[in-house]
């Protein structure tokens, strides 16, 4: 049985480009994870930005979730939805891409851009998985593993993990959540 602890997975642009081909998503995809869920035929409710904030707040209020997890979820809602300049100065842009409610978990997808001098910016997705139940945690992990299996390339290489350092360090200063400082792809 899994835990109901929220966790973060970082995903490289390289992986998402390959996923677009593997799942026949087309050329420009604004909400890749959402589109992948559609192609997989999964039942879910799309969450707009405000709905995602509300869903996180509702999870935090749930009686079955320990206070520390509830507080963590509220912190997540605040941290990921405040204006970019306040939150992540080292990241040029952070966009809310999509939210997915699969009844037993909420999965939020954010796009982060790390500017680099005289070189192209680095693009990553940040997937925030907030299980509502222990079964939800296991279900979300199963779906993510199915996606990775179909794409057949690692979501993050060691080099990409190292390139993520500015994001990881900035997030670690704001959030204490599983996956912020450790590459959870290795244990998923």
pLDDT tens across 121-149, in order?
889 999 989 898 889 999 999 999 999 99
Whether the CB-CB separation of 175 and 76 falls below 8 Å is answered with yes
Q: Which of 89-93, 118-122, 125-129, 177-181 has the lowest mean pLDDT?
A: 89-93
Q: Residues 108, 127: contact at Cβ < 8 Å?
A: yes
| pLDDT tier for residue 74 given thresholds of 50, 70 and 90 | low
Write down the domain spans for the chain: 7-186
**What pTM did the predictor assign?**
0.86
């Amino acid at each position: 049985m899994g835990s109901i602890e929220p966790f973060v997975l970082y995903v490289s642009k390289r992986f998402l480009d390959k996923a677009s081909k593997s799942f026949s998503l087309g050329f420009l995809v604004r909400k890749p994870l959402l589109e992948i869920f559609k192609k997989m035929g999964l039942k879910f409710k799309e969450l707009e930005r405000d709905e995602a904030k509300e869903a996180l707040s509702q999870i935090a209020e749930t009686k079955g979730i320990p206070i520390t997890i509830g507080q963590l979820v509220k912190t997540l809602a605040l941290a990921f939805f405040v204006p970019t300049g306040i939150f992540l100065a080292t990241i040029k842009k952070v966009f809310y891409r999509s939210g997915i409610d699969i009844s037993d978990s909420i999965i939020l997808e954010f796009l982060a851009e790390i500017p680099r001098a005289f070189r192209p910016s680095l693009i990553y997705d940040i997937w925030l998985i907030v299980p509502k139940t222990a079964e939800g945690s296991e279900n979300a992990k199963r779906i993510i593993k199915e996606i990775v299996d179909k794409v057949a390339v690692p979501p993050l290489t060691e080099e990409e993990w190292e390139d993520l350092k500015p994001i990881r360090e900035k997030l670690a200063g704001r959030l204490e959540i599983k996956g912020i400082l450790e590459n959870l792809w290795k244990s998923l």
